[in-house]
Amino acid sequence: MNNSILVVVLASAVVYGTPLLYAALGELLAERSGVLNLGVEGMMLVGAVMGFWAVQRIDGSGSAVLALALGVAALAGASMALIHAFLVVTLRANQIVSGLALTIFAGAAGLSSYLGNDLHLADSPAKHAFHPVAPSSLQDLPVVGPVIFGQSVLVYASWVCVLAVAFYLARTRPGLNLRAVGESPAAADAMGINVTRYRYAHTLAGGAFAGLGGATFSLAITPQWVDGLTSGAGWIAIALVIFAFWRPGLCLVGAYFFGAFAALPFTLQSRGVTVAPELFQSLPYVMTVLVLVLVSSAGARRRLGAPASLGLPYVREER
Amino acid sequence: MRLRGITKVFPGVVANDRVDFEAAEGEVHALLGENGAGKSTLSNILTGLYRPDEGEIELYGEPAEFHSPRDALDAGVCMVHQHFRLVVPFTVAENVALGDHRKEGSAFLVRPRAIERGVAQLSERYGLHVDPRARIWQLSLGEQQRVEILKALYREARILILDEPTAVLTPQEAETLFRTLRAMAAEGRTVIFISHKLHEVKAVSDRVTVLRGGRTVATVSTAEATRRSLAAMMVGREVDVTRRRERDGEIRGPALELEDLWADGDRGGSAVKGVSLTVRAGEIVAVAGVAGNGQRELAETVTGMRPRAGGAVRVHGRALRGGDAREAIRAGIAHVPEDRLGTGVAPSLSIASNLVLKSYRYRQLALGPLLRLRAIREHAVDLIRRYDVKASGPHVPARQLSGGNLQKVVLAREFSGEPRVLVVASPTRGLDVAAIETVHAYLRGAAAAGVAVLLISEDLDEILALADRVAVMYDGEIVGEVDAATATVEEIGLLMAGGRESP
Amino acid sequence: MIRIERRLRQPRWLTVVVPVGSLAIAFAASALVLAATGHAPGHTFRRLFDAAFLAHGALSSSVTSATPLAFTGLCAAIAFRMQLFNIRGEGQLYAGAILAAAAALLLHSLPMAVVIAAMVLAGAAGGAALALIPGFLRAFLSTNEIITSLMLNYVAALVLNYLIFDSLSYWRDTSTPEAKVFPQGKMLPASGTWPSWTLHGVLVPLGFLLGIALAALVWLLYSRTRFGFEVQVIGDSPRAATYAGMRTRRKILAVMALSGAAAGIGGASQDGDFRHLLDPRGLSQSGYGYAGIVIAALARYNPFAVVLIAFLLGGLQNAGYTLQGADFPSGLVGVMQGLILFSALGAELLVRYRIRFARPRGRGPALEAAG
């Protein structure tokens, strides 16, 4: 039973969906503050390469090194996000172009590749990687075994993050303030909330999460570093936030949904189903477009949930 | 509160020029001035939104410096802005509690029920009735204003500033507001009331400070001042824009007919519900009503910016398909929108470009697909001169023009197209008295020339001064039509509130 | 106290200083990055410059690299003018290449001029068709065109790979036994080989000249026609455009189609000027990537500037490709491009705003300064 296509796909969906989930949660926070950050792909790659570097170069016990590597990855992602935050919040630059610039700078032909090469990371597999942690007795349970218990710590941590972000937004005062900043920075400002600080903080948090998402690739999924490892996952994560109507819970659902499409080609191939791989590989991208169309046209008049100030700089003194 | 020598400069304009102002505890002090006199700038300085370039602020005898709205709020200064600073998707309770850390214990967790209780209590005590659980977009503008005041009371504001609060109220609601303000002053709070309307200032305040051209003219006791003396101080000369003039020209046959017109709103549901109205050539028909009752949607439907869901629009007998602005323009409908900068012009483009925004397709200005750039430029220079637009040249981007000049550009464009019907919405909002006079003159001139004018405005004074007939709109319907010469403010006010007494 | 105020006038000198200044700052920043990672900046830049412009045949290679960049740059710039983001026109370039190759193969017996014209048209059609998908979705279904065009880029790349590597399609050369094992596209006929000219030792392909012609056409269209006027208005204020009765949706389609056509002609040029067959690996390795939007952002709506900047960036790409190896930092090209774009964004601030230093408190000076 656990070898049936359905179960394998479900389990893989969780695996492939996890980096999407991290990146989407991060982008969700940034967008809730009104900052659109299209540099997710770049931030993920930088997080992936720096996390990988940490694992290869730092000596110590497996779990300690891995934990440290995650911290490094998050930090790397956040520093990339800092550039974007500075440009769009302080200098009021066009958010779309700045995000694209970040992707160019940090992405597959940019900084991540530069670092990967300079630090000679490309040839060897990871010294430590994330593996499933549950005892095999649990892993052998029908269906839930592989799907839930066969996952690594990163997956479980991502579930905690979803709950944390949801609680933060709905029930805490900073979360309320954040939502106000995203919907109406003028109102928030008039109530004494520091719009700049909130936008910086949440954009950086977005970068940190993206870094973690990237590290999921280089330390769990393909424990190796390759140029352009994420192959578009960052963009799917951005679409995912829209698909999830800016709500963390739906991000989880969406991430696994897209993860399934990413996993499908490999699963089918290993079953010897000979259909041109490219057609399957294009599935996640095609699905993204379809989902986006559905979501955008249904809410064309009433953009459900898009923070009203998304993409616009907030200027207090402008006449 | 005392302000001394406050100066604030923006690129190209001195908004406040060494202003002195002082308000005492327990009084309602009015800040009077026409649009552009510097009242809003001053109040924004008081609430920490702007920082003065020069000058000092003193609160209760101690010098105060506001680096941000936070400082002002902490000092007990709260403002109810003309354009509300409310988070639209949030509930009333969430808006009131936003940013405040002092109440209900935990600063980290949000306790919605406790906040709602607090809001309900305040609501009772001050007679500002509103449902704490309602979301802002569900409320009328008058109710939204109550939320803004509740925000201030929740914070125990000692100084409350209101910027043009009656713009969104019916006359009866305004009376209720004045009673609330007097009650708050009686408690020892200071209420600063910003307005350009003389009768309001006389009705509610103890003292008046008049601003003109960014400078303080005088501070007088309201009881001693008359409307005439205040007007003179405000504008520097004798003027009364609210005086009716004799009608020039004659009224002919129907030019614009609206028959049972329906249109949908932005949030689903109908915004225009079966409106029937006729405007004859040479006539000025006004649509009065508090903002948010479908006026904007009505203007958009008539001018083709919004599709009609039912009924008909006829221009000189010919029915329009609707939903197509180009069709309306071709039929001779000109439109001066209420949102000048956002809809009426392309802000970054030059004045010249904006002046041909609708006419660039015609033979004099285009040769096939190509534009006749020189002809366009000459056309612009001509219009700038004729309509007295103050700008250094036709290449200046539209966004750099002042409100009055921008409106002149829009009017120049619309009139120069020789329209048969003119739809104008809130044409003098935010303009100073000189500009208001100019615009009124143009509208009267248009009517005299045989244009049918549909005037949509929230300013009753303006309506009564200009219109022949007044139709009142409430909740998407026309609830009454009166003759402007004989109608009273009370009558219209009642209709504006839906024909019912306000609570 | 530092204050940022909106400018009243846009001084003319800014339109030159901004791109030049951005490049200068970007170079300085890249030097820092190089130095921080143990490469000598001066040495690296000299090698770059050498490989881009000075070495034997470098100029020709740079023009070769610049040609597709000019087209993807124009592609981005055309859309950008109306605040549409058709970034990464690669997918449309691939589509153009596919159709152009098909045209050449089908019409091989016709005279060269006809075949070349057909290739250009087919390329334009292919690119336009692909760009119309996000265009249609944006115009009629309000779907964000950035994400849709990006997603379709990935799909187009996959389709291209599929055609040559996995299918026995019309484009694939299956004539010899070797060809069946090592997949590659059919060679295009001689009538599909685009001419080139040598100018002072520099090889100038037809594609490059077409790029310049296209830039002129776009300039004319945007600054002198009614179409261009409407594009300007819609880009500035869609609400004002609706108010004025302009057909916004049709414009979105038209602009996206034009934008895609530009990239598609770039694809045709790749087939006809350089590769002479449909070559997926070659097409994707050229690293056109996001260069288009960098060029468009720097060129600030001026199509001629697009060609000029494409030449500079073409040199950069060329140098990056030539120097690839163990001792040269790969990814430097992307880093520099990113830095250039960052600087351009920062410089944009200077165009719109002015930074003023005002004394904190005092009487008089502020009023004096106001004039």
Structural domain spans, chain A: 5-298
User: Higher-confidence residue: A98 or C285?
Assistant: A98
Would you say residue B391 has pLDDT above 60?
yes
Give the count of beta carbons closer than 10 Å to the beta carbon of residue B418. 10
Mutate: best of B87, B95, B101, B400, partner A, most A CBs <10 A: B87
pLDDT digits (tens, 9 = 90+) for C110-147: 888 888 899 999 999 999 999 999 999 888 888 888 88
pLDDT digits (tens, 9 = 90+) for C297-323: 888 778 998 999 898 888 887 887 777
Domain closes at, from B418, B436, B466: B418
pLDDT number for residue C364: 39
Calculate Rg over the CA atoms of chain C: 23
CB-closest option in A173, A184, A187 to B108: A173
Within C282-327, strands assigned E span none
Residue whose C-alpha is closest to residue A173's, from C346, B450, B110: B110
Mutate: best of A32, A94, A184, A247, partner B, most B CBs <10 A: A184
CATH number of A5-298: 1.10.3470
Predicted confidence pLDDT, tens digits, chain A (319 residues): 567 778 888 888 899 999 999 999 999 999 999 999 999 999 999 999 999 999 888 888 878 888 999 999 999 999 999 999 999 998 888 888 899 889 989 988 788 888 888 777 777 787 788 888 777 777 777 777 777 887 888 999 999 999 999 999 988 888 999 999 998 898 888 888 889 999 999 999 999 999 999 999 888 888 788 877 888 889 889 988 988 888 899 999 999 988 888 887 777 767 666 666 677 778 888 888 888 888 776 554 445 567 777 777 777 654 3
Question: Do B327 and B451 sit in the same domain of this protein?
Answer: yes
pLDDT number for residue B241: 63
Question: Do B465 and B478 sit in the same domain of this protein?
Answer: yes
Would you say residue B125 has pLDDT above 60?
yes
pLDDT number for residue B267: 74
User: Higher-confidence residue: B240 or A246?
Assistant: A246
How many helices (H) does chain B have, and how many strands (E)? 16, 22
Domain closes at, from B184, B216, B235: B235
Instruction: Report how far apart the first and last C-alpha atoms of chain B are (Å, whole number).
Output: 34
pLDDT number for residue C366: 42
Beta partners for residue B437, in sequence order: none
Work out the percent of chain C whose per-residue pLDDT is above 90.
23
Domain range holding B399? 345-418
Question: Do B379 and B471 sit in the same domain of this protein?
Answer: no
CATH class of C40-328: mainly alpha
On whether any CB of chain A is under 8 Å from the CB of C109, the answer is: no
Question: Do B18 and B46 sit in the same domain of this protein?
Answer: yes
Please name the residues between 356 and 385 in chain B that touch chain C, using a CB distance below 8 Å.
357-358, 360-361, 366, 369-371, 373
User: B95-99, B285-289, B424-428: which has the minimum mean pLDDT?
Assistant: B95-99
Return the SS3 of B209: strand
pLDDT number for residue B404: 84
Would you say residue B279 has pLDDT above 90?
yes
pLDDT number for residue B328: 93
For the question of whether the overall pTM of this predicted structure is more than 0.90, the answer is: no
Residue B337 lies in a domain: no
Task: For residues B273 and A6, give the distance between their C-alpha atoms in angstroms, rounded to a whole number.
Answer: 54
Average pLDDT over residues C74-83: 92
Question: Do B169 and B86 sit in the same domain of this protein?
Answer: yes
What is the count of residue pairs from A and C with beta carbons less than 8 Å apart?
A: 153
User: A234-243, B175-184, C6-15, C155-164: which has the minimum mean pLDDT?
Assistant: C6-15
pLDDT number for residue A128: 80
C-alpha A152, offset from chain centre: 17
pLDDT digits (tens, 9 = 90+) for A162-210: 999 999 998 888 899 999 999 889 888 888 888 999 999 999 999 999 9
pLDDT digits (tens, 9 = 90+) for B334-387: 999 988 888 999 998 999 999 999 988 887 888 888 888 889 999 999 999 988
ipTM for the whole predicted complex goes beyond 0.85: no
pLDDT digits (tens, 9 = 90+) for B185-225: 988 899 999 988 888 888 888 999 988 888 888 888 888 88
Alpha-carbon distance A241 to nearest alpha carbon in chain B (angstroms): 19
Partners of residue B400 in chain C, C-beta under 8 Å? 8
Work out the percent of chain B whose per-residue pLDDT is above 90.
27
Question: Do B412 and B424 sit in the same domain of this protein?
Answer: no
The DSSP code sequence of B226-257 is -HHHHHHHHHSS---TT---PPPS---SEEEE
pLDDT number for residue C215: 95
What B467-472 contacts at long range (C-beta under 8 Å, 24+ apart), as own/partner pairs, is B467/B284, B467/B285, B467/B286, B468/B247, B468/B251, B468/B283, B468/B284, B468/B285, B469/B283, B469/B285, B469/B286, B470/B285, B470/B286, B470/B287, B470/B288, B471/B277, B471/B285, B471/B286, B471/B287, B471/B288, B472/B287, B472/B288, B472/B289, B472/B496
Average pLDDT over residues B431-447: 88
Sorted by where each begins, the domain ranges of chain C are 40-328
B98 and A187 in contact by Cβ < 8 A? yes
pLDDT number for residue B105: 46
Domain closes at, from B235, B251, B266: B235
How many Cα neighbours within 13 Å face the side chain of B94? 25
pLDDT number for residue A22: 96
On whether any CB of chain C is under 8 Å from the CB of A312, the answer is: no
pLDDT number for residue A41: 93
Give the count of beta carbons closer than 10 Å to the beta carbon of residue B165. 25
Per-residue pLDDT band for C361 (boundaries 50, 70, 90) equals very low
Average pLDDT over residues C57-84: 88
C341 and A300 in contact by Cβ < 8 A? no
Question: Do B453 and B389 sit in the same domain of this protein?
Answer: no
Structural domains counted in chain B? 3
How many Cα neighbours within 13 Å face the side chain of A167? 8
User: A12-16, A257-261, C207-211, C328-332: which has the minimum mean pLDDT?
Assistant: C328-332
Question: Do B82 and B131 sit in the same domain of this protein?
Answer: yes
Question: What is the enclosing helix (H) or strand (E) of B8?
Answer: strand B2-10
User: Structure tokens of B136?
Assistant: 């802002």
Residue B340 lies in a domain: no
Please name the residues between 116 and 175 in chain A that touch chain C, using a CB distance below 8 Å.
116-118
Would you say residue C172 has pLDDT above 80?
no
C-alpha B53, offset from chain centre: 28
- Is B410 within 8 Å of B336 (Cβ atoms)? yes
Instruction: Report how far apart the first and last C-alpha atoms of chain A are (Å, whole number).
Output: 67
C-alpha B127, offset from chain centre: 26
Question: What average pLDDT is seen over chain B?
Answer: 86
Average pLDDT over residues C357-365: 45
Task: For residues C88 and B135, give the distance between their C-alpha atoms in angstroms, rounded to a whole number.
Answer: 42
CATH number at residue B316: 3.40.50.300
